[in-house]
């Protein structure tokens, strides 16, 4: 499938429309990183930015919640136009319930884990997820180095999805560029999130094309 989701965390917030148009034209969805300064030691942006992007977006909005109590905000993300909503497994008490809540609100539910959480923890929920988010850096900041152990984790999740016979996409998030995209797609990733490699480049459309090649 080879879908690219540019992370708007690395976009130019003074000229956001320019970067939104770039995603509309060359990429597949908007990855929106929502951080609360509590679940992760960083604060990003919230509803007004998501809503503004949604007004001109022609590609789906994929919000990645790195917040405590994501269940409290599900309806509001639906209201501002989010199509895909992921949260972290260890941010909630009952992941199955939150996945169901997201689906009931009309969005595609996704379940995320940091690199230090065993992938097996995702397995009981695969049939309830439209996608899982395998973090290839620790959630909290853009511009970090890709963690190589992700390849093994990705293969293990892919194998289990096939074993269970469920339709669940795999999104990999963090430190991704044209240097590692081919291998990730070959191992079964469906969606690659890339922030810095896209928006800090002189030629973002070429970087997106290279990642899909």
Size of interface with ligand DX5, in residues (CB under 6 A): 22
Tell me: does residue 142 bind ligand DX5 (CB under 6 A).
yes
Residue with CB nearest ligand DX5?
195
Tracing tokens 């690219």 back to the chain, one arrives at 4
User: Token digits for 98?
Assistant: 């939150």
* 173 catalytic residue (yes or no): yes
Q: Which does 137 bind (CB under 5 to 8 A by kind): Zn ion, ligand DX5, none?
A: ligand DX5
Tell me: does residue 64 bind Zn ion (CB under 5 A).
yes
- Least separation in angstroms between residue 184's CB and ligand DX5 is 12
- Least separation in angstroms between residue 66's CB and ligand DX5 is 6
Distant-in-sequence, close-in-space partners of 177: CB < 8 Å, separation ≥ 6: 146, 194, 197, 207, 211
- Least separation in angstroms between residue 199's CB and ligand DX5 is 8
Q: Which does 143 bind (CB under 5 to 8 A by kind): Zn ion, ligand DX5, none?
A: ligand DX5
What is the spatial distance between Cα 34 and Cα 135, in angstroms, rounded to a whole number?
Answer: 15
Angle between the N-to-C axes of helices 204-212 and 16-26, in degrees from 0 to 180, rounded to the nearest 10 = 30
Q: Nearest 5°: CA angle at 162, between 157 and 165?
A: 125
């Amino acid at each position: 499938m080879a879908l690219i989701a540019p992370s708007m965390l690395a976009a130019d917030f003074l000229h956001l429309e320019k970067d939104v148009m770039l995603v509309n034209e060359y990429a597949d969805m908007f990855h929106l990183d929502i951080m609360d300064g509590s679940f992760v030691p960083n604060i990003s942006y919230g509803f007004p930015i998501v809503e503004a992007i949604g007004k001109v977006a022609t590609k789906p909005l994929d919000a990645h919640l790195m917040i405590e109590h994501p269940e409290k905000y599900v309806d509001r993300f639906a209201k501002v136009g989010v199509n895909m909503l992921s949260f972290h497994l260890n941010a909630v008490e009952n992941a199955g319930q939150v996945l169901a809540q997201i689906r009931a609100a009309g969005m595609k539910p996704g379940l995320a884990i940091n690199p230090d959480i065993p992938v097996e923890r995702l397995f009981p929920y695969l049939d309830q997820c439209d996608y899982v988010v395998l973090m290839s850096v620790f959630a909290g900041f853009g511009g970090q180095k890709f963690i190589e152990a992700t390849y093994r984790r990705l293969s293990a999740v892919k194998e289990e999805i096939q074993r269970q016979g469920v339709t669940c996409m795999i999104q990999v998030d963090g430190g991704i560029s044209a240097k590692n995209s081919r291998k990730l797609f070959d191992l079964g990733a469906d969606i690659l999130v890339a922030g810095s490699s896209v928006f800090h480049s002189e030629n973002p459309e070429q970087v997106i094309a290279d990642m899909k090649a």
